[in-house]
Structure 1
């Protein structure tokens, strides 16, 4: 199982700050979380996704992943 943490607007859209997931690829994870949390459909494409601390785009295997962070764009400065 992989722990997924949602931050800020992503947590609000998911209705949780954290959950355990069993998907085997990042694409499968994205598809599953949007199916379970439809409000993520608008924000997830704009989010940075870190897999074990490394920003990841596209699809990768999650076989050994322990932690995924979903970070929406932040404003400020």
Structure 2
């Protein structure tokens, strides 16, 4: 299972910092976490979702060793 880490507003929306997910592709993972965590659905389209530290497409397969980071937009000055 892929390990998903949530940061900032994504962590607040899910109530989690990390979880293990069984989905086989990044697209399936995006759909599943939006369904499982309704509060995340509104911000997920604006989030950077990285697999192994890189932006990849929804067709990307996920393996048991993959680390997926969900990073909402950050504001700063």
Both proteins in one fold, TM over 0.5? yes
C-alpha change, 1:54 and 1:28, in structure 2 (3 Å) is same
Q: Which residue of structure 1 aligns with residue 18 of structure 2? A: 18
Q: Does 26-35 or 53-62 show the bigger shift? A: 53-62
**1:52–1:65 Cα contact (<8 Å) kept:** no
- Number of matched residues? 77
Q: Which runs of 5+ in 2 are unaligned?
A: none
Deviation (angstroms), 1:56 = 2.3
> Aligned-residue CA RMSD in angstroms?
1.3
Q: Which residue of structure 2 aligns with residue 66 of structure 1? A: 66
When normalised by structure 2's length, the TM-score is 0.91
Deviation (angstroms), 1:64 = 5.9
When normalised by structure 1's length, the TM-score is 0.91
Off by >2 Å, runs of 4+ in structure 1: 56-59
Q: Which runs of 5+ in 1 are unaligned?
A: none
